[in-house]
Amino acid sequence: MENHAFVDSVIKEIVQPGVDALMNTRYFCELREGKLSKKRLQGFAVQHYLHNIALVKGLVLCMAKNAANTDLYEHFREQFNEEQYHPELAKKFGFALGLTDSDFDDATPVFECLAHTSAVIRGMFLGTPAETRTGALVNESMVCRYSEEFNTQLRRHYGLDDKARQFFTVHAVADVEHTKAAADVVARYATTPKEQKLVRESAHNMVAFKLAKFDGIYRAYG
């Protein structure tokens, strides 16, 4: 119970303010107004596709890294089973916006998106279990919230149907559970002052990387 109180404090003091800040970036302000360009929507599809590819591969390696730890192995196996289809969902969104396979095949990450993905992968391989899953706690919380926003505004302002919005309808639901799973791992493993300090620092950093990611997409696809 005490450790869950610690995780709750991280969510309240760091994660939720980060979610609120993300919703107030120019990317999402323009999305809510129906003024976000098609090119910037396409940019999200491409850049998140590249991120999802890296994330899925990272989860496979996390399973191997933690093969002797049943708790963590099962956690990463479950996350892989959930995430393995998400690159194709990002593609489906892009196709609805007029992109083709070549747009995804030829894409490279913009600087801020590369930095965000690199931070996630770094946590997977070099971070402690609590530190690693703190990145997921931040990211899944943000994805859950912005998926709700995308889903609402893409229907309202851009006329995209359910099939085109599937990436967001799936994430708005699935990432509630993913966030809880990440929080549970952090609570189990952040049992020392040193680990709790790492968790807080990791949360602050991941919030900054995520905010920069959307500023990077906005800039690169202007």
- Helix crossing, 129-158 with 38-65: angle to 10°? 150
How far separated are the first and last CA of the chain, in Å rounded?
47
Residue 205 has pLDDT above 60, yes or no: yes
pLDDT tens digits along 139-197: 999 999 999 999 999 999 999 999 999 999 988 776 677 788 899 999 999 999 999 99
H helix runs in the chain, sequence order: 2-10, 16-23, 26-33, 38-65, 70-83, 86-96, 101-105, 111-126, 129-158, 166-189, 193-220
Q: What is the pLDDT of residue 169?
A: 92
Residue 99 has pLDDT above 80, yes or no: yes
As a whole-number percent, the residues of the chain with pLDDT over 90 amount to: 86
Q: What is the pLDDT of residue 217?
A: 98
Residue 105 has pLDDT above 60, yes or no: yes
Q: What is the pLDDT of residue 174?
A: 65
pLDDT tens digits along 52-63: 999 999 999 999
Residue 2 has pLDDT above 70, yes or no: no
Using CA atoms, how far apart are residues 90 and 95, in angstroms rounded to an integer? 9
For residue 20, with 0-12 CB atoms within 10 Å meaning exposed, 13-18 middle and 19 or more buried, which class applies?
exposed
Mean pLDDT of 73-97: 93
User: Domain 38-220 in CATH: superfamily?
Assistant: Heme oxygenase-like (1.20.910.10)
Q: What is the pLDDT of residue 211?
A: 98
Using CA atoms, how far apart are residues 218 and 10, in angstroms rounded to an integer? 28
Q: What is the pLDDT of residue 1?
A: 54
Calculate Rg over the CA atoms of the chain: 17
DSSP secondary structure of 155-196: HHHH---TTTTHHHHHHHHHHHHHHHHHHHHHHHH--SHHHH
Q: What is the pLDDT of residue 19?
A: 97
Residue 219 C-beta-side C-alpha neighbours within 13 Å: 11
Residue 40 has pLDDT above 70, yes or no: yes
**Nearest CA-CA partner of 184 in 130, 108, 106:** 130
Q: What is the pLDDT of residue 183?
A: 93
Residue 138 C-beta-side C-alpha neighbours within 13 Å: 30
Using CA atoms, how far apart are residues 13 and 20, in angstroms rounded to an integer? 12
φ and ψ at 24, to 5 degrees? -105, 5
Q: What is the pLDDT of residue 216?
A: 98
Cβ-Cβ contacts under 8 Å for 67 (sequence gap 6 or more): 73
Q: What is the pLDDT of residue 86?
A: 92
Q: What is the pLDDT of residue 93?
A: 97
Q: Note the pTM of the prediction, 2 decimals.
A: 0.92
